[in-house]
Structure 1
């Protein structure tokens, strides 16, 4: 595969529809997979094989090794997007796991972002940057200023700031965006409703559903679907 083809950017939909990626789910522009190893030894064996494959392809995943599972995340770091290189490595990793008899758990990947509504984002963002020890990301808001923060080692949740047009004193100003595999979203919404939650709107589904707990605290169940045309978060 040529370097030019390897770096060809893919949309979330294009990546998710590639053959050989049944173990993988797109969350917030990255490919995620969880493998249930059942032990640290088996996990270390999987990681060792994955590292060797990554070195051979000169393309490297983020790896989280726990006692009972291994979680991997793929994105092409040089351009911050999904590419054919990520698809190729994902297929290699799935083949290694299958050879080792380690099953995937495609319903488990999860991304949780914190969304903060603000009237003056440039005034609010530095406070949260200082409190969290985060750094601004390259994304910028309408005024050309950063509108999101990230952990320096990608170990904490992403924090982004949503522009408000007017104060909303009767509504919470911080909510969670919970991005789940696209084929799990409706079940997650149903479970939240069965647990006493309320559906505030599904206007933007399947990009996201806006829910509230019994006291009105809000959360969004999100997927990659519809992001080309839908807004990123409700007003």
Structure 2
């Protein structure tokens, strides 16, 4: 089925006013439920709608909010199916007296300025456990890395024309379990990174990629 539509088509479709399209060609809506119980009711309603349509969104249930994200993986973007389900989800929210918050943030991207993306991306894939973005064109390497589970921010690489003299252009803290932290550090070093300091281990290790961009592999604070 090729019912792909543009972001503009989605946004002007009748009944999609609660939704906003993000740069990764997903439509997102934030619903302010006010309570966890109401959030569960909304999620249950979304589940029934999704099963009936055989089209399944990503749903994030938190206390006071439910965030819903729609895309059609088979067409690599938005489709008429996303419009139909978005309208139904918004209707279900209204029936529960749950307001949408179209002004709420619906995504986060972390940018890293680089001179040679091919040299630094293996490090970031290793330290984050991310994968190259799908459908990012013919560029090699891909200009972005994504969380396979779809929960954490996308990291993208912006090409610089010349080196910058400041110490660092980005810093990320990556939290992992204490049982895997040392291996994550080793994998990052093997992927072209370097250990800046392990002075604070096992709480955190400071690493850097081939161009000096830093990341800390962190665990929960250790009782002493």
Deviations 1:100-148 (A, max 9, x none): 1111111113211111111111110011111111112232564x32221
Mapped partners of 2:167, 2:107: distance in 1: 24
Q: Say if 2:34 is the partner of 1:23.
A: no
From 52, 61, 64, the equivalent of 1:65 is 61
Task: Report the count of equivalent residues.
Answer: 170
Query: In the TM superposition, what are the counterparts of 1:1-235 in structure 2 within 5 Å?
Result: 4=1, 7-28=2-23, 29-138=25-134, 139-140=136-137, 142=139, 144-170=140-166, 173-174=169-170
Mapped partners of 2:61, 2:73: distance in 1: 21
Alpha carbon RMSD of aligned pairs, Å?
2.0
What TM-score do you get using the length of structure 2 for normalisation? 0.71
Gaps of 5+ in 2: 173-224
State the match for 1:200 in structure 2: none
Mapped partners of 1:71, 1:107: distance in 2: 13
What TM-score do you get using the length of structure 1 for normalisation? 0.67
Residues 26, 175 of structure 1: alpha-carbon distance in 2 compared, 3 angstrom cutoff: farther
The 10-residue stretch of structure 1 (43-52 or 146-155) with the greater mean CA deviation from structure 2:
146-155
Mapped partners of 2:101, 2:157: distance in 1: 32
**In structure 2, the residue corresponding to 1:59 is in which secondary structure?**
coil
Report the CA distance between 1:71 and its aligned residue: 0.6
Mapped partners of 2:11, 2:51: distance in 1: 24
Gaps of 5+ in 1: 177-235
State the match for 1:228 in structure 2: none
2:4, 2:80 within 8 Å by CA — same for their partners in 1? yes
Residues 164, 76 of structure 1: alpha-carbon distance in 2 compared, 3 angstrom cutoff: same
2:30, 2:106 within 8 Å by CA — same for their partners in 1? no
Give the number of the structure whose alpha-carbon radius of gyration is greater: 2
